[in-house]
Structure 1
Amino acid sequence: MNDAEGTLAISTHPTPAGPVVVHLAGELDHYTGPRFRLAVEEVLRDPGAGVIADLSDLHYCDSTGMTVIITACRRAQAVGSSFAVAGLSPAMDQLFRMAGIDQLFPLHASVQAASEALRGS
């Protein structure tokens, strides 16, 4: 699935270890958040599929975007799937940690690190 409409591009692809990477590029906010939610919902239709949110190309995330990410994590947990965030820029990493989001789910430096951590869990 590829989606370049608006200010957020979303693509999904499986990893060899099993989790599906949902790559975001652009801005995650009130307007674009529902598209991320739908992408995660689509991945979670496959029983047992884990989700890695690759935010390495995310340039902006407001409180609504953070809420959408938290909701995606809770949805994954509700269906027995794993969820992780990978590739945050230093500024985004600081923002997520200040908001306490790192207490809700793991933040990883890269998709590979997230994939390895999820495989070990």
Structure 2
Amino acid sequence: MNDHDAHKEVPWRLTAGSDPGVIAFSGEIDFSVTPAVRERLWELVGKAGKHIELDLADLTYIDSSGLALLLELRKQLAEADRTVAIRSISPQVRKLFNLTQLSDLFGLPD
């Protein structure tokens, strides 16, 4: 591995938001990173309360594996009597949510 590879930026990031229960996504999520995203997501969900809000404002791309992960999150939270909603979303990801008719499932703001 050369120095360039060592400092190569990860194409995605998940962080706890400034408000309790907020999980912020940024970058690009596709099938090649979904397993790592899943691991980080469950770590953050474990520290969050009953209601979780997703901040997707800085998410520039998500493919079907990423959408499947969000649906899995919603299902598992519902089974635990917890909820999830989208707080904010980037225009390009909003188009995908509208196209796949997932907007209502996540309480997507207008």
TM-score class, shorter-chain normalisation, is 0.7 to 0.9
- Could you state the TM-score of these two structures normalised by the residue count of structure 1? 0.71
Contact in 2 for aligned 1:76/1:83 (Cα 8 Å): yes
| Contact 1:40/1:51 (8 A) holds in 2 | no
Give 1:64 deviation, angstroms.
0.9
Q: Judge conservation of contact 2:14–2:23 (CA < 8 Å) in 1.
A: yes
Alignment pair present for 1:76 and 2:77: yes
Rate the CA distance shift 1:94–1:25 in 2: closer, same or farther, 3 A.
same
Q: Does the C-alpha gap of structure 1 residues 81 and 56 become closer, same or farther in structure 2, counting only changes over 3 Å?
A: same
Which structure has the larger Rg? 2
2:10 counterpart (3, 6, 9): 6
Aligned to 1:29: 30
Shift of 1:103: 3.3
Q: Does 1:63 align with 2:64?
A: yes
- Name the SS of the counterpart of 2:10 in structure 1: coil
Structure 2: stretches of 5+ with no match in the other structure = 1-8
- 1:93 Cα offset (Å): 1.1
The alignment partner of 2:98 has SS state of: helix
Aligned to 1:52: 53
Measured after TM superposition, the shift of residue 68 of structure 1 is 0.9
Unaligned runs of 5+ in 1: 110-121
Tell me how many residue pairs correspond in the alignment: 103
How has the CA–CA distance of structure 1 residues 14 and 35 changed in structure 2, closer, same or farther, with 3 Å as cutoff? farther
Q: For residue 103 of structure 2, give the secondary structure of its aligned residue in structure 1.
A: helix
Alignment of 1:67-106 (within 5 A): 67-106=68-107
Over the aligned positions, Cα root-mean-square deviation in angstroms equals 2.3
Give % identity: 25
